[in-house]
């Protein structure tokens, strides 16, 4: 089993507040992101990740986000096995206290 790094929602919020450029990918389903997602995140539903690899760069670190951290963890394992740099946001959007916005 692969082990990937994790980051807390609070750390993500702090980094964004400092203006750090983060590459967030929200892997939740359409109905979930409709309720609100982190403004800087890109939405790629978990089931579409395998055919969306051409949208990702192996030299970029991505922070994966889901509702509670489970699905994003599985996506992290999959992407790591394919040579991508990934970090899982622990606790997912359930623990996010920052601003959210409806998906554009």
Q: What is the pTM of this model?
A: 0.95
29: in domain: yes
Q: For residue 41, which of 68, 14, 12, 18 has the smallest C-alpha distance?
A: 12
52: in domain: yes
100: in domain: no
Give me the catalytic one of 66, 75, 79, 87: 66
77: in domain: yes
102: in domain: no
Each of the 104 residues of the chain gets a pLDDT tens digit; together they read 568 999 999 999 999 999 999 999 999 999 999 999 999 999 999 999 999 999 999 999 999 999 999 999 999 999 999 999 999 999 999 999 999 998 76
Which range marks the domain in which residue 65 is found? 6-95
**Does residue 76 carry a catalytic annotation?**
no
In angstroms, how far is CA 31 from the centroid of its own chain?
A: 16
What the block records as the tokens of 1 is 């089993």
101: in domain: no
The pLDDT value recorded for residue 48 is: 98
Q: 85 near 62, Cβ under 8 Å? A: yes
Split into its structural domains, the chain has a count of 1
Give the span between the Cα atoms of 27 and 50, in whole angstroms. 12
The pLDDT value recorded for residue 51 is: 97
In angstroms, how far is CA 39 from the centroid of its own chain?
A: 12
80: in domain: yes
């Amino acid at each position: 089993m692969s082990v990937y790094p994790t980051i807390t929602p609070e750390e993500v919020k702090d980094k964004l507040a400092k203006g750090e450029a983060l590459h967030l990918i929200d892997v939740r389903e359409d109905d979930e992101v409709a309720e609100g997602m982190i403004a800087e995140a890109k939405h790629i539903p978990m089931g579409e990740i395998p055919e969306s690899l051409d949208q990702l760069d192996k030299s970029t670190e991505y922070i994966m986000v889901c509702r509670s951290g489970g699905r994003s963890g599985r996506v992290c394992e999959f992407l790591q096995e394919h040579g991508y740099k990934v970090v899982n946001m622990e606790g997912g959007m359930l623990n996010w206290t920052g601003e959210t916005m409806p998906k554009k």
